[in-house]
Chains A and B, each alone.
Chain A
Amino acid sequence: MKTFAMGGVHPEENKISTTAVIEEFPLPETAVILMNQHLGAPATPCVAKGDTVKVGQLIGKAEAFMCANVHSPFSGTVQKIDTCKDAFGLAKPAIYIKVEGDEWEESIDRSPDIKRECDLEPKQIVDKLKEMGVVGLGGATFPTHIKYSIAPDKKAEYLIINAVECEPYLTSDHRVMMEHAEEICIGVSILRKALGVPNAYIGIENNKPEPIAVMKAMAAKFQGIIVEPLKVKYPQGAEKQLINAITGRRVPSGKLPIDVGCVVSNVGTAYAVYEAIQKNKPLMENILTVTGKKLDKQHNYHVRFGTTYNDIIAHSMGSLPETTGKVISGGPMMGKAVSNLDAPTTKGASSVLVIDESEATRAEESNCIRCGKCMHACPMGLEPYLFSSLVKNGRIEEAGAHNILDCIECGCCFFSCPANKPLLDEIRLGKNLYRGILMAKKK
């Protein structure tokens, strides 16, 4: 069975919410829609205070190149256009909506029937994805229409669908494959058509035998979709590692997947593509795993973004368990701790992970003994211990020369360090400082 060549670790899987069927999350009373839910510039609000909006109505227009449209996930009245603090306490432009009823735009097809045929041309598909505000749902929220607008000098050979879900705890991809396999395969066919590639590969780690079976059975009915079971190893869900696992190709330092002929999209994105293209439904909700070892019940929800973390906590568990140490948005390896639970969820949110106090605190740090475990664990072949000491001593340019920017921030080094050194933190700091130096040089 295939896997990527270099590094990797095996964190405890903790996939305890795999059997929780996706539930519809109830509508909140008020919602805040952030204008930058994607990588790049924030969208520009195109509604005014007092306007009534319908579900699926465009409320934030993408004006910059690296930007995505934002649609209202709720119907109601626009209360104000102001800033709102996001999950990390940083103020972002936002639209406040008082939710009234649940009135959808007429163009959206809400029937449960599956629409199989798509007669759009590749260019039309990409334009429609842009219109519908679809972004990558693997975590980076890269606008999908930009990813699928291939530069004329580049050629795509492989479409890879990322259904690895290598992060512990998360099960949203698992559930969406179990429940919407056919829609996903239609979505993948549409993306395949947009790129004009013969085959699409769906990579799934073999700790998910049920989704593999379901997807294999479904893919057999479609042309050019191959399900590829992969040997479990974190971070297989990272773009470059998945390309390496499936094609054996390596993305060179500083290059993009398209430079080796690959385009990678998340399985959640494929589902969103199906809904956007076939059902005219803009991206306005995602599947969110609500999980934690100390919770009585695990959940997977269809949550419209703009719902606050507090709403989700209140509905799913009443209140946080007393011994809660951290609430994480995303997985425990790459996710970020939420410091402001009043914040609304965004397109990128894939989970609300409640970590117990006993597991949330960091162990005491000791000195590096140059054991090299971090080097062995690094899937990019970097030297984390070296970055650590270079960054600490302010030798940022040297760290840059050792390709610090290649770090994908997977956290394998920190995970494997017996001295509990905050290697990832130091590398992230070094990356920020080095980017600052590069920017200053450009000027």
Chain B
Amino acid sequence: MTGIWSAVLVLSITGAIFALVLYFVAQKFKVVEDPLIDEIAEVLPGANCGGCGKAGCRAMAEAFVKQGNMEGLKCPAGGDEVAKKVAALLGCTPEESEPQVAVVRCNGSCSNAKAKSNYDGLQDCAFANSLYSGESGCMFGCLGLGNCTRACQFDALTMDKETGLPIVDEEKCVACGACVKACPRGIIELRNKGMKNRRVYVACRNKEKGADARKSCTAACIGCGKCAKTCPFGAITVENNVAYIDYKVCKLCRKCVAECPTGAIHAVNFPPKPAPAPPPAAATAEPTATTPATETNNNQ
């Protein structure tokens, strides 16, 4: 019998000692975490897309709580809806921001930029970019191997088999910017969604001289500057032989679209133009232009 009692006694004493040690250690190394972090993390989309620039949604929630307000922090995937919820939890007013969408600035489709060589190596844009200019010979155009579609966590990008270019699903795109980072040629840009989802942009990044650019792609921007002269708002700049439309200044008047001789300027989500529009547009176009102005109404 004494054996049992001594065992009980020894275990009880050691148990009590360990309990004390554990208690003091727990007190000493206690991590106080704001319960607000958990609440905010709950509200965030939880996709861990990295669009905010943080490692994931939890890190973003911590950043919100640490800062105490929403200045400079934005969850692009959640949009205004999530921003309102986070603001309510933090007790501040949400920053109003224009919703954005990814825009593919290349029109080097299989028909516009005819393939002059075939590529059968690793199906990865970054690798192909390190090797050569691309099948059409354009050093700036889409390589069509789909790094952007693989980077997209929201299933918003798909490769169009016919054109060989990525298509952005405007409903699904949350403008997290993953595709922008994935594209080795910097073709994809985040632009404001614009009024009624309408946007006007230059679908080309080719910095070569006009004649050289046209050699690889019939729809290339040749840097002629007609659009910049036409624009009544000064939204267009031509630098390094390529035009760029500032979406913050653009008023969507579409005068540049009709003026572009190569059809490099795209206007999306506008209602179709009235019937008599195409003939004068085609007449003003340079004789070498093969893309009629009507085609520029295509959705991306």
Contact = CB atoms under 8 A, between A and B. Distances in A.
A90 B133 contact: yes
A371 interface: no
B124 A89 contact: no
Given A339-B116, A428-B127, A90 B122 contact: no
A340 B139 CA distance: 12
Contacts of B131: 88, 336
A422 B120 CA distance: 10
Nearest to A429: B127
B117 A339 contact: yes
Interface residues of A, number: 18
A89 B127 contact: no
Nearest to B119: A339
A323 interface: no
Contacts of A362: 120-121
B2 interface: no
Which of A89, A91, A337, A362 has the most chain B CB within a 10 Å cutoff?
A89
A361 interface: yes
B122, B130, B212: residue with the most chain A Cβ atoms closer than 10 Å? B122
Interface in A332-356: 336-337, 339-340
A319 interface: no
A91 B120 contact: no
Contacts of A428: 127, 130
Contacts of A340: 116-117, 133, 137
A432 B137 contact: no
Given A88-B131, A339-B116, A361-B120, A433 B126 contact: yes
Interface of A: 85, 88-91, 336-337, 339-340, 361-362, 422, 425-426, 428-429, 432-433
Given A90-B139, A428-B127, A85 B122 contact: no
B170 interface: no
A362 B123 CA distance: 13
Contacts of B117: 337, 339-340
Contacts of B24: none
A222 to B, nearest CB: 43
A138 B57 CA distance: 52
Contact of A88 (B120, B121, B122, B132): B132
Taking residues whose C-beta sits less than 8 angstroms from the other chain, chain B's interface range is: 10 to 19
Given A339-B132, A339-B133, A422 B121 contact: yes
Interface string B220-262: 0000000000000000000000000000000000000000000
Contacts of B80: none
Nearest to A433: B126
B139 A91 contact: yes
A338 to B, nearest CB: 9
B130 A432 contact: yes
B127 to A, nearest CB: 4
Nearest to A428: B127
Nearest to B126: A429
B208 interface: yes
B73 to A, nearest CB: 24
Interface string B101-139: 000000000000000110011101011001111100101
B127 A425 contact: yes
Contacts of A426: 122, 127
A88 B132 CA distance: 5
A89 B132 contact: yes
B216 to A, nearest CB: 8
Given A89-B139, A340-B117, 20 more contacts: A88-B132, A88-B133, A89-B133, A90-B132, A336-B131, A337-B117, A339-B132, A340-B133, A361-B120, A422-B121, A422-B122, A425-B122, A426-B122, A426-B127, A428-B127, A428-B130, A429-B126, A429-B127, A432-B130, A433-B126
A429 B124 contact: yes
Contacts of A337: 117
22 contacts: A85-B133, A85-B137, A88-B131, A89-B133, A90-B133, A91-B212, A336-B131, A339-B117, A339-B132, A339-B137, A340-B117, A340-B137, A362-B120, A425-B121, A425-B122, A426-B122, A428-B127, A429-B126, A429-B130, A432-B126, A432-B130, A433-B126
